[in-house]
Amino acid sequence: MKNYKTIVLSNQEISPGYYRMQILAPGYDAQARAGQFVMFRVQRSLPPLLRRPFGIFRTGFLAPDCDGMPPKEFIEIVYKVVGLGTEIMQDLHQGDQIELLGPLGRGFDLGAPDEDKILVGGGIGLVPLYMLAEKLDNKARSRLLMGGRTRDDIITVTEFERLGVETYVSTEDGSLGEEGLVTQVLERKLQKYPQATVYACGPMPMLDAVQRICANHKAPLQVSLEALMACGVGACLGCVVKGAGHSEETPRYLCTCKQGPVFNAEELDWRQLDEPQQDCGGCR
């Protein structure tokens, strides 16, 4: 894990309100694991002071220059503009300075190559699943279920398809793919592939539904949680969630940034999802 100043290589809108940013990031291709994240801070702005967490979409190398220097490494993040921090980010251009801390957190366990795998992503929750799909050994036994409210929320679909992963799209308004919830598709796929391991990332209500379906089918589930984070390294306790077995008498909290963001479903107390969520939106 390193904290350093670096630069934006590109920053493009890929769907209304969704942007993909490429960042110069030496060392990341060898170090970063699927499901990990970075903390990102814009250099030139005073507000917002805090860093923001973003899942790593992918890592790679730029085409080599003709100067004999080794090729430069980059990471890509994909983000949705939802508040002050991401509004500032959408105006960044090639060469702008930023500060990057990472790679951080616990990533996905890739499992055995001979297992069926089902990846479930809702909206911006698709981001950490790309690197996971890329790293899976047996893509022919992997399926990706993408869900969103409208077609604008279905991002990077052709890149997933290029990896050779079977891809299914559903939207709540029927504007792309099947009309309905991604969890309905999951129910059908688990009937077809009852031994599958499920990986999911997306909004909490979607993860809650995924967890119930997987529990009914006794399917192993790993979830990547989205949380507001201030430090990203386990120091501020701003990102805690309740762990399995939590009670007032024996509190059990887990830091999303350090013990997650990827958890096995049975590590979490799913009752907390019935409690009101605090999310001001303006912090991101």
- Can you give the binding site for ligand FES, defined by CB under 6 A? 229-232, 234-239, 255, 257
In the bound state with ligand FES, the residue whose beta carbon lies nearer, of 157 and 240, is 240
Q: What number of CA atoms fall less than 13 Å from residue 141's CA on the CB side?
A: 17
In contact, 168 and 143? CB cutoff 8 Å: yes
Residue closer to ligand FES, measured from CB, 78 or 239:
239
Contacts with 13 (C-beta within 8 Å, 6 or more apart), sequence order? 19, 90
102 phi, psi to nearest 5 deg? 160, -170
Query: What minimum distance in Å lies between the beta carbon of 258 and ligand FES?
Result: 6
CA distance linking residue 3 with residue 233, whole number of Å = 12
Q: Closer to ligand FES at the Cβ: 122 or 232? A: 232
* Tokens at 214, concatenated: 């997987």
Provide the CB-side half-sphere exposure for 36 (13 A, CA): 20
CB of 168 to ligand FES, least distance (A): 33
205/199 Cα distance (integer angstroms): 15
Minimum CB distance to ligand FES smaller for 62 or for 235: 235
Q: What is the DSSP letter of 268?
A: B
Q: Yes or no: say if 199 and 222 are a contact pair by the CB < 8 Å rule.
A: yes
- Min dist CB 238 to ligand FES, Å, is 5
Q: How far is the CB of 255 from ligand FES (least distance, A)?
A: 5
- Residue for token pair 């792309």: 176
Least distance (Å) between residue 231 CB and ligand FES: 4
What is the C-alpha separation between 178 and 175, in angstroms, rounded?
A: 8
Nearest distance, CB of residue 254 and ligand FES, angstroms? 10
Which positions ≥6 away from 284 have C-beta within 8 Å? 52, 82, 83, 85, 86, 228
Q: Which residues contact 30 (CB under 8 A, 6 or more apart)?
A: none
Q: Which is nearer to ligand FES, 144 or 257 (CB)?
A: 257
Structure tokens at 24: 């110069």
- 118 vs 255, beta carbon nearer ligand FES: 255
**Closer residue to ligand FES, CB minimum distance, 157 or 227:** 227
CB of 229 to ligand FES, least distance (A): 4
Closest distance to ligand FES from the beta carbon of 241 (Å): 10
Q: Is the CB of 111 or the CB of 234 nearer to ligand FES? A: 234
Indicate the residue type of 213.
I
